Amino acid sequence: MTTLSRRELLLTSAALAVASRLAPAAEARAPWHQRVLRWGQTNLTEIDPGRIDIEFWRAHWKRTRVQGVVINAGGIAAFYPTKIPFHHRASGLGDRDLFGELVRVAREDDLAVFARMDSNRAHEDFHRAHPDWFAHDADGKPLVVTGLYVACVNGPYYREYLPAVLREIVTNYRPDGVTDNNWNGPQRHQPCYCANCEQSFRARAGAALPRRVDWDDPVYREWILWNYARRLEIWDEFNRVTRDAGGPDCLWVGMMSGSLNYQARVFRDDREVFRRTELIMLDHQRRFDDEGFAHNAETGLRLRSVGGWDKLIPESMAMYHLGEHNFRLATKPTAEARLWVESGFAGGIQPWWHHLGAVQEDRRMFATAEPLWRWHEKHERYLVGRMPIAGVGLLWSQRNMDFFGRDDAGALVDDPWNGMSQALVRARIPAVPVHVDDIERITRELELKLLVLPNLAALSDAQAAAIQQFVKAGGSLLATGMSSLCDEAGRVRPDLALSPLLGASVPGEHSWRDPARRATQARAWSQTYLRLPRESARRHESLRGFADTDLLAFGGTLEPLTASVAPAVSFVPALPLSPPEDVWMRQPETGIPGLICSEHGPARVAYLPADLDRRFARDQLPDHGDLLAALVRWCLRGELPLELDAPGLIDCRPWRTRGGDTVVHLLNLNNANAWRTPVQEFVPVGPLRLRVRAGEVSRAVSLVNEARLPMKRRGNWYEVEIPRIVDHEVVVFSR
Ligand SMILES: [Zn+2]
The DSSP result for 406-452, as a single string, is GGGHIIIIIHHHHHHHHHHHHTT--EEEEEGGGHHHHHHHHT--EEE
What was the pLDDT predicted at 27? 52
Distance (Å) from CA 205 to ligand 1 centroid: 16
Distance (Å) from CA 192 to ligand 1 centroid: 5
**Full strand arrangement of the beta sheet holding 431-435:** 431-435, 392-396, 450-453, 476-480, 603-608, 593-600, 569-572, 529-531, 551-553
Contact 395, 452 (CB under 8 A): yes
- CA atoms of 160 and 229, how far apart (whole Å): 19
Distance (Å) from CA 242 to ligand 1 centroid: 24
Segment-wise mean pLDDT, segments of 10 residues, the chain, 735 residues: 42 42 53 97 98 98 98 98 97 97 98 96 97 97 97 98 98 98 97 98 98 98 98 98 98 97 98 95 92 95 94 97 93 96 98 98 98 98 97 98 98 98 97 98 97 98 98 98 98 98 97 97 97 94 97 98 96 97 96 98 98 97 98 97 96 96 97 83 96 96 98 96 98 96
What was the pLDDT predicted at 20? 41
| CB neighbour burial string for 691-719, b if at least 16 within 10 angstroms, e if fewer | bbbbeebeebbbbbbbbbbeeeeeeeebb
Neighbours of 339 (CB within 10 A): 27
Distance (Å) from CA 122 to ligand 1 centroid: 15
Distance (Å) from CA 114 to ligand 1 centroid: 29
Distance (Å) from CA 236 to ligand 1 centroid: 19
Distance (Å) from CA 152 to ligand 1 centroid: 4
Distance (Å) from CA 196 to ligand 1 centroid: 5
Contact 342, 310 (CB under 8 A): no
Distance (Å) from CA 226 to ligand 1 centroid: 12
Contact 645, 689 (CB under 8 A): yes
Contact 539, 532 (CB under 8 A): yes
Strands (E), 279-422: 282-283, 314-318, 320-321, 327-331, 350-356, 386-388, 392-396
Distance (Å) from CA 207 to ligand 1 centroid: 15
Distances in Å between the Cα of 54 and the Cα atoms of 58, 91, 144, 180 are 6, 19, 34, 23
Distance (Å) from CA 89 to ligand 1 centroid: 25
Beta bridge partners of 72: 116
Distance (Å) from CA 185 to ligand 1 centroid: 10
| CB neighbour burial string for 581-598, b if at least 16 within 10 angstroms, e if fewer | eeeeeeeeebebbbbbbb
Phi first, then psi: give them for residue 341, nearest 5 degrees: -65, -45
Q: Is 503 left (phi over 0), alpha (psi -120 to 50) or beta?
A: left
Beta bridge partners of 279: 312
Phi first, then psi: give them for residue 91, nearest 5 degrees: -60, -30
Distance (Å) from CA 161 to ligand 1 centroid: 15
